[in-house]
Amino acid sequence: MPVDHTNNLTLRILQAAHEGGYAINAQSCYDAQSVIALVRAAEEARSPALCQLFPVTMAQFGKPFVKFCLDTCHAASVPIAVHLDHAASDEDITRALDWAEQGVALDSIMIDCSHHDTDEDNIAMAKPYVQRANSLGMAVEVELGRLAGGEAGVRVIEEGMLTKPEKASRFLTELGAQMLAPSIGNIHGRYVNPPAFRLELLEALQSAVGPGTAANSYLVLHGTDDLPDELFRDCVRRGAYKINVNSWARDPQVEFWAKHLEKDPLPDVYEGGMQQFAKVCNRFFHLLGSAGKA
């Protein structure tokens, strides 16, 4: 039986991005300060956004912190959804789904079983979780192929595997997922060599599984550290509507803390760090074309 996601905030935000020809900054947030900074920046830029959490953050701070994120983002004057990135273990996925059943439901979740050896194993492992998430009203992101690399909150993968468009539609429809994170030459973490994206592959995937197709899904770009602005624009033009952003905003915040903690009052340090974080969020709202769209 098809699941009605009409009121799902993540999907409404992505649908508007598709219709408007822009992309959404899906910003990784590690603490209350970064969540508040994201909301401030989004409201100032009049931009929709996604607040992304890693499973390690949920485990560290617990259900009250997730409720804080949901309350803070949903109370904003612009649309901001809360998404769980890279839930890859049974413990991490089940925690999020159990909390949803207890009334603290994320808007969306990435159920990441891409570390399994075959697409069939990926589907078999992910499907029960996807079905449960859908039944709870959560939109689901999955990964087909495999991104190499690693970063905070993401397991290290030694060898990547490109996503095949001819497999993507069946993969998504069989799983019942609404978002696809493809492997197109992108990697998690820092790029040792210049990024070599297969933009024609991204375009083919958009034609195969994007909005209006049988899969009717949204493409998600992972691995955005160090990318030049024009490559971001190229990916948006080819249908990547959810752009994951992590260290671009995190690092200036942490650097500000390190520089000022020993000499400045703690509230001033927090405020300065939030301003650094918000500044980067604002840059991405304008780069991705979402500024002024909310």
DSSP letter string over 5-30?
-TT-HHHHHHHHHHHHT--EEEEE--
- Residues written for the chain: 294
pLDDT for residue 118: 82
Res. 55: pLDDT tops 50: yes
What percent of the chain is modeled with pLDDT above 70? 95
Cα angle 93, 136, 29; round to 5: 50
Between 269 and 223, the more confident residue is 269
Confidence of residue 156 (pLDDT cuts 50, 70, 90): very low
Q: Which of 85, 92, 107, 119 is catalytic?
A: 85
For 225-242, how does the pLDDT look when each residue is reduced to its tens digit (9 = 90+)?
Answer: 889 999 999 999 999 999
The CA distance from 182 to 145, in Å, is 6
User: What confidence score (pLDDT) does residue 194 get?
Assistant: 80
Looking at residue 241, what is its pLDDT? 98
Mean pLDDT on 54-67: 98
At residue 89, the pLDDT reads: 95
Domain spanning 9-288, CATH class: alpha beta
Task: Retrieve residue 254's tokens.
Answer: 């942490």
* Cα–Cα distance for residue pair 292/78, rounded to 1 Å: 10
Q: Which two three-digit tokens encode residue 76? A: 């904003």
- Helix 266-287 vs helix 32-45: crossing angle, to nearest 10: 50
Cα 47 from chain centroid?
16
Give the pLDDT confidence of 107-154 residue by residue, as tens digits: 999 999 987 778 888 899 999 999 999 999 999 999 988 676 545 555
Give yes or no: 98 in active site: no
User: How many of the other CB atoms lie within 10 Å of CB of 48?
Assistant: 26
Residue 77 — pLDDT band, cuts 50, 70, 90?
A: very high
Average pLDDT, whole number, for the chain? 93
How many angstroms from the chain centroid is the CA of residue 81? 10
Residue 62 identity: G
Q: Is the pLDDT of residue 263 over 90?
A: yes
Q: What is the dihedral of CA 156, 160, 163, 168, to 10 degrees?
A: -40
Please name the residues in contact with 60: beta carbons below 8 A apart, sequence gap of 6 or more.
Answer: none
- For residue 2, pLDDT over 90 is answered with no
Phi first, then psi: give them for residue 71, nearest 5 degrees.
Answer: -65, -45
Average pLDDT over residues 26-51: 99
Percent of the chain with pLDDT strictly greater than 90: 83
- Delimit the domains of the chain by residue range: 9-288
The neighbouring-strand residues paired with 87 are 111
Q: Report residue 148: phi and psi, to 5°.
A: -80, 170
pTM of the shown model = 0.94
Instruction: Give the other-Cβ count within 10 Å of 31's Cβ.
Output: 17
> Which tokens in the block code for residue 91?
């413990």
Higher pLDDT, 101 or 153: 101
- Please give the pLDDT value at position 160: 62
**What pLDDT shows up at residue 259?**
97
CA 280 distance to own-chain centroid: 16
Section 266-282 average pLDDT: 98
| Better pLDDT: 114 or 92 | 92
For residue 290, is pLDDT > 70?
yes
Express each pLDDT in 189-208 by its tens digit: 777 778 889 999 999 999 99
